[in-house]
Structure 1
Amino acid sequence: MLPTPKKFKIVAAAAEGSHKLTAFDNALLDAGIGNVNLVRISSILPPSAQQDQDLELPPGSLVPTAYGSIVCEEPGTKIAAAVGIGFSSDTFGVIMEYSGQCGKAEAEAKIASMLKDAFENRGIPLVKTEIRAVEHTVEQTGCAFAAVALWY
């Protein structure tokens, strides 16, 4: 059985690269989670997890991560990625991710709407939200990335 993560950090960054994968990698580096292996997860924040924005992740570790990202090779295109956490008063949280060809404000609005829906669908009161987003205008090959990284 895998342990339940006890910490998390929310990040968002954008970067350019010479290739799609290096643009993605550079965005991860700018977000501070480029030297770990992301294990993509669905969207539930454990009830006891505490936010730690100074969280140092050991290089090479497997890190459960909910994320949204977009890579684009069309110069002049605006791209954005956002992630948000909805918190209840006494139980688990819900994480939502989004990315697309839009601005930061539109990405944040989509996350806020998805979090509202997620809590309504569960019949749980939404107490607060925390959203991180980034937008980027592509120069050559750009990436926008937003994530919630969980740790033990």
Structure 2
Amino acid sequence: MLPLPKKYFVTAASSEGESKLTAFDRALLGARVGNTNLLRVSSILPPGCEYEPDLVIPPGSLLPIAYGSIVSDVPGEVISAAVAVGIKKDSFGVIMEFSGKCTKEEAEQEVRKMVEEAFRVRGLELEEVKVASAEHKVEKIGCAFAAVPLWY
């Protein structure tokens, strides 16, 4: 059985690269998770998980992470990614992610709506929402990335 993560933060970044993969990699570096091995998880923040915005993840770590990302090679296109964490003290939380051809404000609006719906269908009271987002205007090949890394 895997241990439950005890800490998290929200992060977002965007970047250009010479390829789609290197644009993604550079966005990961900007979001402080580029030297880790991402283990993509879905949408539940464990109970008791504490927000630590300055958390440093050791290089090479296997990192549970919920994220949204988009890569584009259309010059001038605006792309964005956002994550939101819905929080209820003394309960689990819900993480939602979104990416698309839109502004960061539109991406933030989408993830907030998804968090509100997730809490409503679970019958939970939403007490707080944390959001991170990134917007990027593509020059050659660009990436927008937003994530909620979970740690122990």
Give the TM-score category using the shorter length: over 0.9
Gaps of 5+ in 2: none
The aligned counterpart of 1:149 is: 149
The aligned counterpart of 1:137 is: 137
For 1:22 and 1:113, locate their aligned partners in 2 and report how far apart those are by CA, in whole Å.
31
For 1:115 and 1:150, locate their aligned partners in 2 and report how far apart those are by CA, in whole Å.
18
AA of the residue aligned to 2:13: A
- How big is the shift at 1:53? 1.3
AA of the residue aligned to 2:28: L
Does residue 25 of structure 2 align to residue 25 of structure 1?
A: yes
Secondary structure of the residue aligned to 1:75 is coil
Query: Which aligned pairs between 1:1-150 and structure 2 lie closer than 5 A?
Result: 1-150=1-150
Secondary structure of the residue aligned to 1:115 is helix
- List per-residue Cα deviations over 1:55-93 (Å, max 9, x = no partner): 111111100000000000000000000000001132000
Secondary structure of the residue aligned to 1:107 is helix
Equivalent pairs, count: 152
Secondary structure of the residue aligned to 2:9 is strand
Secondary structure of the residue aligned to 1:35 is coil
Identity %: 57
For 1:112 and 1:90, locate their aligned partners in 2 and report how far apart those are by CA, in whole Å.
21
What's the RMSD between the two structures over aligned residues? 0.6
